[in-house]
Amino acid sequence: MYSEKVMDHFQNPRNVGEIENASGTGTVGNAKCGDIMRIYLDIDENQVIRDVKFKTFGCGAAVATSSMATEMVKGKTVREAMEVTNKAVMEALDGLPPVKVHCSLLAEEAIHAALWDYAQKNGIEIEGLVKPKSDIGEEEIEEEY
Ligand code: FES
C-alpha cells in the first residue's frame, strides 16, 4: 500500500536529529492522532536554509513525509520553502494512502512553525506565512510523554 519512495524514506529517513542553536524551531501536534513533530532550521544571512533536522513521535508516514519535506526545503530560501506544501511532498513520494494524508500535514505545519519562529526572532515577514495554530512548547511535550 506504500510506494517504494515512502518505504525508502521510512526505512532510511534523511535529516533526523536536532540542531543546536537553531535559527528557528517548530513543534506541532497532529489533531487527528496526537502525534508530534519538531523541525529545526539553520538559516544563513541570505535567508537560505543551510540545514534542517526533524524529530517525531509520529507514524511511518509522518517519518517518510518529514524526511522528504526536509530534503525539499534544504538549500532553498525561506520564501521558496513556503512552496513545499504537503501536497508537493506527497507527490514527490508518489502518493500516500488516503487515511495517511493527515500525517503529511505534520511536516508542513512544523516547517511553517519553525519559519515563524525564525521570522519572529529576526523581525522579518515571510509572504504567505501565518502564525501557527498548533505550535506547542517543550513543557507540554514533556508533560505528555
Ligand atoms: Fe499520527 Fe501518522 S498516525 S502522524
Catalytic site includes residue 59: no
What letter does residue 43 receive in the DSSP assignment?
E
Ligand 1 atom at minimal distance to the Cα of residue 34: 1
Ligand 1 atom at minimal distance to the Cα of residue 56: 4
Q: Residues 40, 52: contact at Cβ < 8 Å?
A: yes
Ligand 1 atom at minimal distance to the Cα of residue 106: 4
Q: In the prediction, which pLDDT does 62 show?
A: 94
Quickly count: other Cβ atoms within 10 Å of residue 16's Cβ.
Answer: 14
Cβ of 6 closer than 6 Å to ligand 1, yes or no, is no
**Rounded mean pLDDT for each run of 10 residues along the chain, 145 residues in total:** 94 97 94 90 98 94 96 97 94 94 90 96 93 59 43
Measure the CA–CA gap between 57 and 97, rounded to whole angstroms.
Answer: 20
First to last CA, the chain: 30
pTM for the model: 0.89
Q: Residue 85: what are its φ and ψ, rounded to 5°? A: -85, 170
Q: Which domains does the chain have, with CATH numbers?
A: 4-121 (3.90.1010.10)
Cβ of 59 closer than 6 Å to ligand 1, yes or no, is yes
Please choose from 2, 33, 55 the residue to mutate so as to test ligand 1's pocket, defined by most ligand atoms within 8 A of CB.
33
Measure the CA–CA gap between 20 and 100, rounded to whole angstroms.
Answer: 31
Q: In the prediction, which pLDDT does 135 show?
A: 52
Q: In the prediction, which pLDDT does 138 show?
A: 45
Residues contacting 26, CB < 8 A, separation 6+: 38, 39, 109, 110, 111, 112, 113, 114, 115, 116, 117, 132, 135
